[in-house]
A and B are shown apart, each in its own frame.
Chain A
Amino acid sequence: GAGVSQSPSNKVTEKGKDVELRCDPISGHTALYWYRQSLGQGLEFLIYFQGNSAPDKSGLPSDRFSAERTGGSVSTLTIQRTQQEDSAVYLCASRREDLSYEQYFGPGTRLTVT
């Protein structure tokens, strides 16, 4: 079956511009997570959705970062006024509603801020 998909796969933007990153989870997966992978910080949790609600936003690095999820499916991560330190690979993962905790990851979006 189809896995987690993310778009775009690569994004180059100028400092100060806004960007939107999209995640399509596996059909039927109620939980969705965003992570960021950067050279200096490794893999970090950003935000967790259960359905359309985000009970844990503790990993969002600043108020320039926001995310939403609609219809219990697609999620969008928005970064406003991008900075060079935002350059990273942004990963999305989804999980079934059971106790396996296993998350399936998408291929990521590589964001480069120039």
Chain B
Amino acid sequence: AQSVTQLDSHVSVSEGTPVLLRCNYSSSYSPSLFWYVQHPNKGLQLLLKYTSAATLVKGINGFEAEFKKSETSFHLTKPSAHMSDAAEYFCVVSSAGGTSYGKLTFGQGTILTVHP
């Protein structure tokens, strides 16, 4: 079985300050991990993905995440927050095989608020 835990339901930052959204995963095999973002009343958009290549993954809009196997973590960071980053962020793990190939398991989401 696989699961993800997002450690913060809400994160609030000031514009221009760093962003850290925390995610821990549980998987019985080498996982594929993703971060998706959902802006209000919009669909889910892929920010970045880890699929067993480089452990530091760069995504769109200046976001990056580091896969740390020893800590079973995949935290999302951004050096400087922008007002347009305000949204809900989901950490996601993908099933690797069997009858559930590619099935995504979502964390509960972290709502990011950016203050001017």
Contacts and interface: CB of A to CB of B under 8 A. Distances in A.
A48 B100 contact: yes
Nearest to B100: A56
A105 interface: yes
Q: How large is the interface on A (under 10, 10 to 19, 20 to 34, 35 or more residues)?
A: 20 to 34
A100 to B, nearest CB: 7
Interface residues of B, number: 23
Contact of B106 (A42, A55, A58, A104): A42
B105 A45 contact: yes
B90 interface: yes
Nearest to B106: A43
Interface string A49-71: 01000011010000000000000
Interface stretch (B21-29, B43-51, B65-73, B75-83): B43-51
Interface in A17-66: 31, 33, 35, 42-45, 48, 50, 55-56, 58
A99 interface: yes
B115 interface: no
Query: Which among B49, B103, B106, B109 has the highest number of chain A CB atoms within 10 Å?
Result: B103
Contacts of A95: 102
A31 B100 CA distance: 11
Contact of A101 (B36, B43, B49): B49
A35 B104 CA distance: 9
A42 B4 CA distance: 13
A103 B43 contact: no
Interface of B: 32, 34, 36, 42-46, 49, 51, 90, 94, 99-109
Which 7 residue pairs are nearest across A and B when measured between Cβ atoms? A43-B106, A55-B99, A105-B44, A101-B94, A107-B43, A101-B32, A56-B100
Given A55-B101, A56-B103, A103-B46, 5 more contacts: A31-B101, A42-B106, A55-B99, A101-B32, A105-B36
